[in-house]
Structure 1
Amino acid sequence: MTTPNPLTRGLRPTHPGELLREDVLPALGRPKAEIARLLRISRQTLYDILEERQPVTPGMALRLGKLCGNGPDLWLAMQRAYDLRLAAEALAEEVERIPTLTATEA
């Protein structure tokens, strides 16, 4: 079990596409078609990430990290947090019914 971060408690994790759409691309000031070309992906793939219809995969994180100069870790961590939150919400009742086992002393 992880300890909640008091700085982010209650905040919904951001899909990396939102960061890309709202902050990164405007700061770069380049057309989306050029960004897609530089990333060596289709425009549709870029649009799907920007609209949060597609996750940032490890390969895409490498591409974004290189393009932005910040490495892949941020992009993967954001996607992981986003995916985990969605799974926790979707499976909350089911997971709640699973017992927590402890090791017995020998």
Structure 2
Amino acid sequence: MSTSTTTTANGYYSTPGQILDEEFLQPLGISRYRLAKAIGVGETAIGEIVNGKRRISTAMAWRLSKALGTTAEFWSNLQNDYDLLTFDPTSLGDIRPLVTA
């Protein structure tokens, strides 16, 4: 099982939801419905995570860790890594440094 965001030659980054689906749910034969019921959330929430339409929150990271035998940090780090790798810093505009090295 992967411990970091997967990249391909074309710069594509796997979402945390893809990793959830491809490295946990499918290999372990766990349906989205079964996972949702086990962790006390709606199936829609799991579907949105898998489809990259919802982030993994801190609470969800804890829920996934308990159900799948991982750590909350694993899921939080996947989400954080993905967010940093896919963020467009040019969207911030011109920010001048307040501190110089």
TM-score normalised over the length of structure 2: 0.77
**1:13-46, Cα deviation, whole Å (9 max, x unpaired):** 4321010111110122122211110111101111
1:98 maps onto 2:95 in alignment: yes
Superposition pairs of residues 9-20 of structure 1, within 5 angstroms: 12-20=12-20
Letter in 2 for 1:23: E
Letter in 2 for 1:74: F
What residue is the counterpart of 1:3 in the other structure?
none
What residue is the counterpart of 1:22 in the other structure?
22
Give percent identity, aligned residues only. Answer: 26
Q: Residues 94 and 24 (structure 1 numbering): CA distance in 2 closer, same or farther, change over 3 Å?
A: same
Q: CA deviation at 1:82?
A: 1.3
Give the Cα–Cα distance (whole angstroms) in 1 for the partners of residues 83 and 91 of structure 2: 17
Superposition pairs of residues 3-82 of structure 1, within 5 angstroms: 12-82=12-82
Letter in 1 for 2:26: P
Letter in 2 for 1:79: Q
Task: Please say which structure displays the higher CA radius of gyration.
Answer: 1
Give the Cα–Cα distance (whole angstroms) in 1 for the partners of residues 83 and 65 of structure 2: 19
Give the Cα–Cα distance (whole angstroms) in 1 for the partners of residues 91 and 40 of structure 2: 41
TM-score normalised over the length of structure 1: 0.73
Q: Say which is worse superposed, 57-66 or 78-87, in terms of deviation.
A: 78-87
What residue is the counterpart of 2:3 in the other structure?
none
SS of the residue 2:36 aligns to = helix
> May I ask how many residue pairs the two structures share in their alignment?
92
Q: CA deviation at 1:93?
A: 6.0
Give the Cα–Cα distance (whole angstroms) in 2 for the partners of residues 55 and 18 of structure 1: 12
Letter in 1 for 2:90: A
